[in-house]
Amino acid sequence: MANVVVVGAQWGDEGKGKIVDWLSERADVIARFQGGHNAGHTLVIGETVYKLHVLPSGVVRPGKLSVIGNGVVLDPWHLMNEIEKIRDQGVEITPDTLMVAENTPLIMPYHGELDRARESATAVAKIGTTGRGIGPAYEDKVGRRAIRVADLADPATLEARLDRALVHHDALRRGLGIDPVDRAAVLAQLHEIAPKLLPFAGPVWKVLHEKRTKGDRILFEGAQGALLDIDFGTYPFVTSSNVIAGQAATGVGLGPSAIDFVLGIVKAYTTRVGEGPFPTELLDDDGQRLGERGHEFGTTTGRKRRCGWFDAALVRQTCVTSGVNGIALTKLDVLDGFETLKICTGYMLDGERLDYLPSAADAQARCTPIYEEMPGWSESTEGARSWADLPPAAIKYVRRVEELIGCPVAILSTSPERDDTILVTDPFAD
């Protein structure tokens, strides 16, 4: 049976939550493979709104196994709070429905403190971090001083891991003028959270291998967007992990042959939260209108998102780096009523035309968009569930997007509601 990877193909906030939830009806396992609780997914199911940050979107589907893979950095205290909130909304979450990889690194309280201290102390351009400790946790993972889920089961190992981490962190804190970490307090917090988290821990790689061998369908869920990838994003204004589809295999412990279809989630316009280049950003009434109609505020931070026209050059780029087989185009209804729409097809840089965004930050800042104009439509596309429900101009816009990014539309979303979706190609089809 086919296994599907879902990745954001812009700067995040593309509507992955709804699409993953919609696809999870066809999946047996939903596996989160990177990022932390800096991500945010909003699911609208009937009259109920679920806001998820680290829990896989599949947790709201009964009878599915949800997995948090080793590619994630996990704040165990946030996880337990999120589980309780979702339980209060009537969703059952138990070790039978949720598994956490035992080799998942933990986000510690001192990671968030370091994150916020460094951001506030930065005199030059800020990264725009959420301040939740994601970056410092990944740094500790690479620096081989992370505390992992399995360490919670062995007090001696846990203390040794903590001591190794504090040698590094206390030195950093001295340089930032912060008091040393209270070792006893952190250790007490870990001992308290351990019996709550450990029942969910297990060998995710082994369980997923067994599920795959049995023929179960696996849906791999990413966070953020490909333009925030640590290698292929708009560096340094990026997240601290690999976001592109190749990370799905590494982030859960399966080989790349486990991936059969890559679905890129693409918003019908472009948004970005935080700092960094944004060639098609609109600071006029059109940008304000996109933000208001699209309710563009971050699920995690509440920050207003920057809005702009659709950037086909960027999406074309991310379709290549993630090996996207088809896209899910979301929020088409936000464009209803615009007399004229613009699509960025490339950039001008110092008099030269480029069909991609260069890697150098100074070059990115000097890139200006080359636009192609298309007529808009006055009819509503909200809630459309077939091509016949769409205005001809909207269909032309979708078809032009496909041409410019070199990738077909597999799914079209016309509202936050689960069923307001047009399926063109089933990613789970063999």
Q: Clarify whether 13 is annotated catalytic.
A: yes
Residue 215, H or E segment:
none
Is 121 exposed, middle or buried, given 0-12, 13-18 or 19+ CB atoms closer than 10 A? exposed
148/142 Cα distance (integer angstroms): 13
- Torsion over CA of 280, 320, 15 and 216, rounded to 10 degrees? 180
Q: In terms of C-beta distances under 8 Å and separation of at least 24 residues, what long-range contacts does 335-338 make, across chains too?
A: 335/268, 335/269, 335/376, 335/377, 335/381, 335/394, 335/397, 336/293, 336/377, 336/378, 336/379, 336/380, 336/381, 336/382, 337/376, 337/377, 337/378, 338/286, 338/289, 338/376
Residue/partner pairs of 237-240 with CB below 8 Å, 24 or more apart: 237/127, 237/128, 237/274, 237/275, 237/276, 237/277, 238/276, 239/35, 239/38, 239/134, 239/135, 240/134, 240/135, 240/137, 240/138, 240/139
In the set 13, 28, 311, 420, the catalytic residue is 13
Return the CA Rg of the chain: 22
Q: How far apart are CA 35 and CA 14, in angstroms?
A: 16
353: left (phi over 0), alpha (psi -120 to 50) or beta: beta
Instruction: Return the closest-CA partner of residue 13 out of 290, 312, 238, 265.
Output: 265
How long a stretch of residues is the chain? 430
Question: How far is C-alpha 326 from the chain's CA centre?
Answer: 18
In the set 21, 28, 37, 41, the catalytic residue is 41
Nearest to 3 by CA among 208, 308, 203, 174: 208
Q: Which residues are catalytic?
A: 13, 41
